[in-house]
Each structure stands twice: as C-alpha cells, then as structure tokens.
C-alpha cells in the first residue's frame, strides 16, 4: 500500500475510480453476475410461492441497509481493493 501511495498521484487515482464506476472489475462483479443467475433460476421455479427472490439475497457481501458509506468505510474499501490488486 505504501508503494502504491508513493507512486499513484491523486489525479491518476481519480481516473481509476472513474473507470471503475463505469466498468467495475473483480470478484464483487462476478458475485453480481452469479447472483443474477441464481435469482433467475430461483424465480423460474414453478413450485415457488410468495414473493420473488431479489438479486441481493444471493450476494454474499451485499450491504442492503440503503445508506451511504462513511469516509472511514470508504477508505477501508479502497485499501481493501488496492490490497486485492497488489496482493498485499
């Protein structure tokens, strides 16, 4: 993380954040794709009664509380993302 902070300026970091907002990558995106498939399969079950399954019910780490992250939570997520990219 220290090396990344030393080599990546705020402008480039902002560009990467903008790119990720347009075209996300990583396991979280894969989880979303799989959750869409799982919800579709669950909702196609002819014996299912009641409400339809929601995609977020199949997301292992979905935050469905409907609130924005705090600055501290966002920084932890950024650091976690950099750790995934750098392997540290």
How many domains does the chain divide into? Answer: 1
Cα distance between residue 10 and residue 6, in whole Å: 10
Whether residue 23 is contained in a domain is answered as yes
Domain with 51, as residue range(s), is 17-64
Cα–Cα distance measured from residue 16 to residue 24, given in angstroms and rounded to the nearest whole number: 10
Q: Is residue 87 part of a domain?
A: no
| 7 domain-assigned | no
For residue 33, is it within any domain? Answer: yes
pLDDT tens string 15-24? 888 888 877 7
Residue 36 located in a structural domain: yes
List pLDDT tens digits, range 45-82. Answer: 867 677 788 888 888 766 655 666 677 877 887 777 77
Phi, psi values for residue 62, rounded to 5°? -70, 135
pLDDT (0 to 100) of residue 37: 93
In a domain, 4, yes or no: no
């Amino acid at each position: 993380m220290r090396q990344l902070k030393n080599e990546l300026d705020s402008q480039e970091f902002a560009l990467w954040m903008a790119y990720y907002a347009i075209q996300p990558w990583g396991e979280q995106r894969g989880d979303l794709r799989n959750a869409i498939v799982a919800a579709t399969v669950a909702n196609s079950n002819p014996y299912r009664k009641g409400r339809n399954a929601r995609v977020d019910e199949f997301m292992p780490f979905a935050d469905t509380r409907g609130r924005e992250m705090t600055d501290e939570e966002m920084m932890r997520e950024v650091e976690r993302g950099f750790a995934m990219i750098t392997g540290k």
